[in-house]
Structure 1
């Protein structure tokens, strides 16, 4: 199983925290397994966990022991495109509610934590750094505004940390280095901040293979991002090309990337929405968790051979 510097133990249920120090083999395991993935790698679905609540439009996911944390946007009024840009925006703000769902291994909703403020109601991809779950909540339009939150998974306490003058669609935290790494709308821009929100770097993303939807820090230097690209198909519709990428947190250099073409019950590529990866417990390979569908959805679990 993927191990990070500190994790919540099963004793979370009674309000205690256990600290586990990862070995070199632990931290390198998922990185090494990921580098073995190829276009021909077989992803076998091993479980379909029905979620017993309206998951709305899920965005990010992390797993802490036996609980899943899923960020999602509940859209009350969809943003509408302007004929001409207004005040630097290409669409209205719309209306909605941001959620961070806490879910058990049976798909039962344990807690619904509402996040956001005003027009900022769209949570993005999330990350757990061993201490906090970091969640960006943005306006549902590009080049807008975001609030960066951190959530204590033991108490469910929510703290607003800083604001960003852009739509942040995903974030990865490095607790040891006090750094946050974020991606903008469509992951077209990379950001780096310290944990107080001071900008350390801003860079354009040179890769146009896929737009990253959700990212997770997996070891000291690397993160894995998942996402998709919508491509026109011959029938006039859109084909969803899914993919996974291993990136250096600091340089954003792609270490390894693969396409992914498994599809959900609602016919979406499984990397469309949130994705979480870990190594298999007793054998080589990777386990992938995904919630690609909206509203009445399931958590799909795949494994490589």
Structure 2
């Protein structure tokens, strides 16, 4: 479809598109393009070596400066991932839960999982830089049990997403999404919950993270997937770090500082008990899942959520590391923070 035709198509209120396993309904709120006519390179990968260098200066005493707070219009459901495409477009993956999951009971496991499926819709929502809603696409049909649209990545051409059942040890579908139309293309089916995905463009491989990011599965794009809805098999790598569960990751590249190994940047949280949640950001070796650098971030949103809960994107602005966080459900505000550029002076945790 020509770009001009996309604009004409966007003038209608609702676009319906049906594929074999994915349903697209787009509600248009502004009669503008979803993405720039010429898609820009992803911010994280474009600043790989500089991000790695600036990240190496972070520590527990880093001063985080709030640059901007942008309220996002409308119900954002449960935001899971975010990518910034150009200077004034934010794409947010989210899950809407029309029927909640229910735990079977203490230590009760049925068919490998601990709760009912529930149901809902997977969303991809587009906002402008003022937080105004541009479009809201539902990527699944009513009553679907795969409706958890997890952490996302943008590679300069497509947005990559995994839409999964909202429970561990179940199923997920890998999709790529056209930023111009929000149209999803199904790539393959996975016999596990997958809550996030990263596209290593140098090796042309997709790395998917399961429930709690405990395992990472890699699929190389030159490999042939099993015909849908059959499951494609993977070699899973165990995540050796239990500091945080990665929620949203972005491909950085193969930086010089880590001998050209593939690196992604991930944010996340871990709940230690019902009252204590810790958050942080890590640089992670894509091949081994070993974190090569990590830093705690103890900031909370105005509503009390750890700032690193779910969506995160990153770039460099005027020599400063800048993060974009969207931690709150339903009533979401984008928090933009920059780290002070000077190396922090760290004290140890023991007696001084």
The alpha-carbon deviation at position 154 of structure 1 amounts to: 2.3
CA distance in 1, matches of 2:93, 2:50: 26
Report SS of the residue matched to 2:308. coil
CA distance 1:81–1:205, change in 2 (3 Å) = same
Aligned-residue CA RMSD in angstroms? 2.2
Which residue in 1 is equivalent to 2:125?
A: 101
Which residue in 2 is equivalent to 1:251?
A: 288
Report SS of the residue matched to 1:244. strand
Alignment equivalent of 1:304, drawn from 339, 344, 351:
339
Which residue in 2 is equivalent to 1:189?
A: 215
CA distance in 2, matches of 1:25, 1:13: 22
Q: Report if the CA contact (8 A) 1:172-1:181 is conserved.
A: yes
Q: Report if the CA contact (8 A) 2:315-2:321 is conserved.
A: yes
Alignment of 1:273-288 (within 5 A): 273-280=310-317, 282=318, 284-288=319-323
Which residue in 2 is equivalent to 1:78?
A: 100
Which residue in 2 is equivalent to 1:211?
A: 245
Which residue in 1 is equivalent to 2:25?
A: none
Alignment of 1:1-305 (within 5 A): 16-17=37-38, 26-65=47-86, 66-83=88-105, 84-116=108-140, 118-195=144-221, 197=225, 199=233, 201-220=235-254, 221-232=262-273, 237-280=274-317, 282=318, 284-305=319-340
Alignment coverage as a number of residue pairs: 288
CA distance in 1, matches of 2:154, 2:117: 28
CA distance 1:15–1:231, change in 2 (3 Å) = closer
CA distance in 1, matches of 2:199, 2:337: 25
Stretches of structure 2 lacking an aligned partner (at least 5 in a row): 1-31, 226-231, 255-261, 341-352
With normalisation by structure 2, the TM-score equals 0.77
Q: Report if the CA contact (8 A) 1:120-1:137 is conserved.
A: yes
CA distance in 2, matches of 1:30, 1:199: 34
CA distance in 2, matches of 1:90, 1:21: 37
CA distance in 1, matches of 2:48, 2:220: 23
Q: Report if the CA contact (8 A) 1:100-1:113 is conserved.
A: yes
The alpha-carbon deviation at position 163 of structure 1 amounts to: 0.6
Stretches of structure 1 lacking an aligned partner (at least 5 in a row): 1-10
Q: Deviations over 1:268-290 (max 9, x none)?
A: 1100121111111x2x2211111
CA distance in 1, matches of 2:146, 2:34: 31
Report SS of the residue matched to 1:91. coil
Q: Report if the CA contact (8 A) 2:269-2:278 is conserved.
A: yes
Report SS of the residue matched to 1:31. helix
Q: Report if the CA contact (8 A) 2:147-2:164 is conserved.
A: yes
Structure (1 or 2) with the greater strand fraction? 1
Q: Deviations over 1:22-80 (max 9, x none)?
A: 9x994311111112111111111121101111011100111110211110111112100
Q: Report if the CA contact (8 A) 2:82-2:152 is conserved.
A: yes
CA distance in 2, matches of 1:20, 1:294: 29
Q: Report if the CA contact (8 A) 1:131-1:175 is conserved.
A: no
CA distance 1:94–1:31, change in 2 (3 Å) = same
With normalisation by structure 1, the TM-score equals 0.88
Q: Deviations over 1:143-166 (max 9, x none)?
A: 010011101112322111111000
Which runs of structure 1 show a deviation greater than 4 angstroms over 4 or more consecutive aligned residues?
11-15, 18-22, 196-200
Asked which structure has the greater CA Rg, the reply is 2
Q: Report if the CA contact (8 A) 2:40-2:85 is conserved.
A: no
